[in-house]
């Protein structure tokens, strides 16, 4: 993850369930402040390498996801931990409306490959 320096284990951005890959599970909210970027490239997981790069704006957070291809999970769950616990109002995946989100989690197919996921945040 960026910012540089050691990351405590509880803030590890990738976790694995038996059927799902969780990305961004414990990213600190302050890392997703407007005009900040953080991410992880080619993280080794049971399913194969996976990457996620978050770019935060004033009212949205965009994640560039590169899902595992060797052994894709059934699903990928991508978390958007917005500063101030702002809820997600809407989501697009590769520019298309995406209704599969609840709370700060977006559910993606395991074989999503490369995708741009944009979470529009609700007003303050």
Q: Where are the domains of the chain?
A: 9-121
pLDDT at 89: 97
Tell me the pLDDT tens digit for each residue of 35-57.
999 999 999 988 999 999 999 99
Averaged confidence pLDDT in the chain: 88
- Cα→Cα distances 110→8, 65, 66, 76, 86, Å: 27, 11, 11, 5, 26
pLDDT at 4: 39
pTM of the model: 0.85
The residue among 79, 68, 80 whose CA lies nearest residue 41 is 68
Measure CA 3 to chain center.
16
Q: If one looks up domain 9-121 in CATH, what number appears?
A: 2.60.40
């Amino acid at each position: 993850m960026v910012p540089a320096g050691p990351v405590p284990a509880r803030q590890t951005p990738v976790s694995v369930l038996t059927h799902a890959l969780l990305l961004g599970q414990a990213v600190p909210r302050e890392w997703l402040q407007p005009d900040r970027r953080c991410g992880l490239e080619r993280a080794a997981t049971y399913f194969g390498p996976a990457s996620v790069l978050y770019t935060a704006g004033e009212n949205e957070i965009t994640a560039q996801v590169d899902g595992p291809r060797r052994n894709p999970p059934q699903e990928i769950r991508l978390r958007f931990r917005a500063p101030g616990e702002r809820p997600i109002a809407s989501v697009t995946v590769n520019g298309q409306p995406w209704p599969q989100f609840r709370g700060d989690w977006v559910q993606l197919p395991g074989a999503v490959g490369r995708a741009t996921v944009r979470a529009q945040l609700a007003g303050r």
